[in-house]
Amino acid sequence: MRQQQGAVLIIGLVMLATLTLMGVTALQTGVLEEKLSGNLIDQHRAFHASESALAEAESWLYEQSSEPDVANSCNTPPCVQVWETNTLDATNTGSEDWWRSNWWTTNAIEASSLHGLSENPRYIMELKDYLPDDKDPDTRARRVGRVLYLISAEAVGKGTATKSVLQSSFSSRFN
């Protein structure tokens, strides 16, 4: 009788270990891809909510028959629709991170709610400039021209770590 060396057993065990490692790696890759796609969906959801808030603000401005009043402070937030020029600059608020501060939460206008978000999107409108139709001082005094606004919107996805901040410029003629 020939003595057996066990080479087939060792090769079989090595192949089994290799196949097990390949299976575990494939499973981990699948789980990672699922997390990535979930995060991407949440990012898109927050982005679209920010866009929706911008559209709501632009629509509000478009519907105004006269130039809306502006303010540079607010005693009982949220109390204004349009902020005065440069009121929202970091140098005026004392912080470069005013987007994350309590100021944003208490002073921004809450937009219509959307499904699947952890909170409703918010927006602020800031008067940026007035562009008269011509250089005639009388035209400027009568405010005949276009008024420019900067609209900023923020939305948080289903997960609070997912945020989207968008800005748009909007101009309107109220005369």
Question: Does residue 2 fall inside a structural domain?
Answer: no
Looking at residue 169, its pLDDT comes to 94
Reported as a pLDDT band with limits 50, 70 and 90, residue 168 is very high
Does the pLDDT value for residue 141 go beyond 80?
A: no
Structural domain includes residue 95: yes
Position 85 in a domain: yes
| 47 has a pLDDT exceeding 80 | yes
CB 77 within 8 A of CB 106: yes
128-138: per-residue pLDDT in tens? 988 888 888 87
pTM: 0.74
Distance, CA of 114 to CA of 108 (rounded, Å): 17
73 found inside a domain: yes
Identify the CA nearest to 57 among candidates 174, 145, 154.
Answer: 154
pLDDT of residue 92: 54
- The per-residue pLDDT for 25 is 92
50-79 per-position pLDDT tens digit: 999 999 999 999 998 888 888 877 666 656
Mean pLDDT of the region 37-43 = 87
Give the residue numbers spanning the domain of 65.
7-172
Question: Would you say residue 55 lies in a domain?
Answer: yes
Instruction: Answer yes or no: is pLDDT of 90 > 60.
Output: no
Query: Maximum CA pair distance of the chain?
Result: 117
pLDDT (0 to 100) of residue 150: 92
Is 58 part of any domain? yes
| Average pLDDT over every residue of 109-125 | 86
Residue 1 lies in a domain: no
The count of structural domains within the chain is 1
Q: Is residue 90 part of a domain?
A: yes
